[in-house]
Amino acid sequence: MSKPSRFYRDIDGILLLDKALGVSSNAALQQARALFNAAKAGHAGSLDPLASGLLPVCFGQATKVCGRLLNSGKTYRVLVQLGERTESGDGETAVVERAAVPQLDDRVIDAALASFLGEQQQVPPMHSALKFEGKRLYELARRGESVEREPRRIFIHRIARVRLERAELEFDVYCSKGTYIRTLAGDVANRLGTLGYVRGLRRLTLDPFDDLPMYTMEQLAERSHAARDEVLLPSDRAFPDLPRVDLDPGAVAALLQGRTVAARQRAAPGELRAYDDGGRFLGVVQGAPEGRVRPVRLFVDVAAS
């Protein structure tokens, strides 16, 4: 990342960006960073240019949550073109094979989708960013090469039909990290006795932000600077599952120095959210022996504290 100019500012928070079609995740990140004049920014989980929807953009201290969000469950709305297959499994490449689409009804569709629920092994597609002997798989695929890929464990929590119109099937799926929607779409089509590829893809939610609104760049640009900052979520919204502990001022100072301290409440084992007297989120701590806590990841500027 290039060094920010003096006009950039230190700002912390998580933006739930509604990424537009045709824009890469990195381009969307840079647009959002420029709009907020943020000195530091990162995104949590890429979306292909051919996909739209939720892309969490993290500013300042909140960039420390990116790794955690990469492991989150996600919900997608998937539009599958039945009766055709592309090499990439989406609209990036031309149709290479066609097949008849059998007579389908809602009952058949629902039964096929339900068969994908639960834990399963999925083989990643050749058109993916995974590496083989130092090369991205999509680089090999574009040269017409194919290599054996190890299956990965994934989990489909929910999958449900949205609509079926002629050769178009649309469904929603809530899935684990590592799920390739293009592979899933092709597998669903095969289960229905035909071929299929992803013609449209939109990410609807990402844990733990499933009940919160996302914003397009156009909506953000229409807001004043102050109103724009109001849509940013605090870093601790990424940790709703962690219990809270509060620290006295002396313990806060010691924690920020990397020391193990006592909390006001007897700390339970495992990771916790730590706060000071003013309700400021200090970071993630680990329960230690005798009810004490030690820092795991601090979310404050130690030098400025």
Looking at the annotation, which residues are catalytic? 48
Which residue type sits at 134?
G
Which strand (E) or helix (H) includes residue 67?
helix 66-70
What ranges in 71-223 are assigned the alpha helix state H?
A: 106-114, 137-142, 181-191, 217-221
Contact 279, 268 (CB under 8 A): no
How many Cα atoms are found within 13 Å in the side-chain-facing hemisphere of 161?
18
Which residue type sits at 51?
A
How far lies 285's CA from each of 166, 255, 256, 264, 275, in Å? 54, 9, 11, 14, 10
Q: Can you tell me the distance from the alpha carbon of 147 to that of 90, in angstroms, rounded to the nearest whole number?
A: 20
Cα torsion angle, 170, 176, 177, 183, sign: negative
For 303, the 3-state DSSP assignment is helix
Residue with the two structure tokens 């149709």:
95
Q: What are 293's strand-pairing partners?
A: 261, 287
Contact 140, 147 (CB under 8 A): yes
How many Cα atoms are found within 13 Å in the side-chain-facing hemisphere of 168?
9
290 — phi, psi (to 5°)?
65, 30
Q: Can you tell me the distance from the alpha carbon of 243 to that of 267, in angstroms, rounded to the nearest whole number?
A: 9
DSSP for residue 132: E
